[in-house]
């Protein structure tokens, strides 16, 4: 029946279109994933550079602290030669001792910042290398994704043209019927009858329906009584028919009785 063949052709096109659309829907995520590694590598580089800026700023602060405390200690030492009493000398000596401790602390913090600065410099170099590598990988992935997307878009355009030709062969009322079933049943409007059952929902067909479907002269469309999909029947090949007609092999545990 021509209308059934036209519907089958349309469903074949729609099935391929659905697959292409699904592929196209994946490209934004694939593109984002390709850029993710570059973004992550750049973020690590930016973090290392920001940390290095902080280290440089703190290092300058501690360098200033060292110089300021050294200047204070020099002043206290100069003043010790001018004092007249032991109490004043002891007070100045206490300030000198305290100042020298502050110098030591500031120098320790300065050394820590210098070590951290060297570490961040190494990290920056490593991060710059990783950014370059990530960009090279992303470049390859972008080209691959762009090529695959272009192919998918071309395939979609071809299938859309095929669909237009298929739809042109189908009456408008039948197209409305087809579209309603498609929307209801996850883009599958037609189902094959296999082993006298609807291959989509498993509903067993009535014998008279099977007989009617097998008549090549029938112009009637049959629907599954459960899922309402349009049914079609394909006669098995000769080889399949012979295989189905062969009796099941006897069980090796079967007992045989001779007469």
Question: How do residues 189-205 score in pLDDT, each as one tens digit?
Answer: 999 999 999 999 999 99
Share of the chain above pLDDT 90, in %: 55
The sheet with strand 222-223 has its strands ordered as: 197-198, 190-194, 230-232, 222-223
State pTM to two decimals.
0.64
25 band by pLDDT with thresholds 50, 70 and 90: very high
Q: Let me know: does 231 contact 213? Beta carbons within 8 Å.
A: yes
- Domains in the chain: boundaries: 2-168, 172-244
CA distance 138 to 141: 5
From 101, 105, 96, 48, select the one nearest 72 (Cα to Cα).
Answer: 96
Tens of pLDDT along 147-180? 999 999 999 999 999 999 999 999 999 999 999 9
Structure tokens at 78: 């100069």
Query: How many other C-beta atoms are found inside a 10 Å radius of the C-beta of residue 71?
Result: 11
Whole-number pLDDT of residue 183:
92
At a CB cut-off of 8 Å and minimum separation 6, what does 16 contact?
Answer: 155, 159
Q: pLDDT by residue (tens digit) across 202-237?
A: 999 999 998 888 886 777 899 999 999 999 998 876
User: 2-168 maps to which CATH number?
Assistant: 1.10.287.1490
Q: CB–CB of 159/13 below 8 Å?
A: yes
Can you point out the beta strands (E) in 68-175? Answer: none
């Amino acid at each position: 029946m021509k209308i059934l063949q036209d519907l089958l052709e349309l469903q074949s096109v729609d099935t391929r279109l659905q697959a292409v659309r699904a592929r196209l829907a994946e490209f934004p995520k694939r593109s984002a994933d390709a850029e993710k590694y570059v973004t992550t590598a750049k973020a690590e580089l930016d973090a290392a550079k920001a940390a290095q800026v902080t280290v440089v700023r703190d290092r300058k602060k501690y360098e200033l602290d060292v110089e300021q405390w050294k200047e204070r200690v020099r002043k206290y030492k100069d003043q010790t030669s001018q004092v007249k009493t032991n109490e004043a000398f002891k007070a100045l000596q206490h300030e000198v001792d305290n100042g020298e401790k502050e110098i030591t602390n500031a120098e320790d913090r300065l050394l820590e910042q210098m070590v951290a600065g060297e570490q961040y410099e190494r990290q920056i170099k490593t991060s710059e290398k990783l950014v370059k590598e990530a960009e090279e990988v992303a470049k390859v992935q972008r080209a691959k994704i762009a090529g695959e997307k272009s192919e998918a878009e071309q395939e979609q355009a071809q299938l859309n043209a095929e669909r237009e030709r298929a739809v042109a062969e189908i009456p408008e009322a039948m197209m409305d019927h087809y579209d309603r079933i498609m929307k209801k049943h996850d883009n599958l409007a037609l189902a094959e009858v296999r082993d006298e059952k609807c291959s989509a929902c498993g509903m067993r067909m009535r014998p008279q329906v099977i007989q009617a479907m097998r008549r090549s002269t029938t112009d009637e469309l049959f629907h599954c009584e459960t899922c309402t999909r349009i049914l079609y029947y394909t006669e098995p090949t000769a080889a399949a028919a012979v295989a189905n007609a062969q009796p099941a092999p006897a069980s090796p545990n079967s007992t045989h009785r001779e007469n």
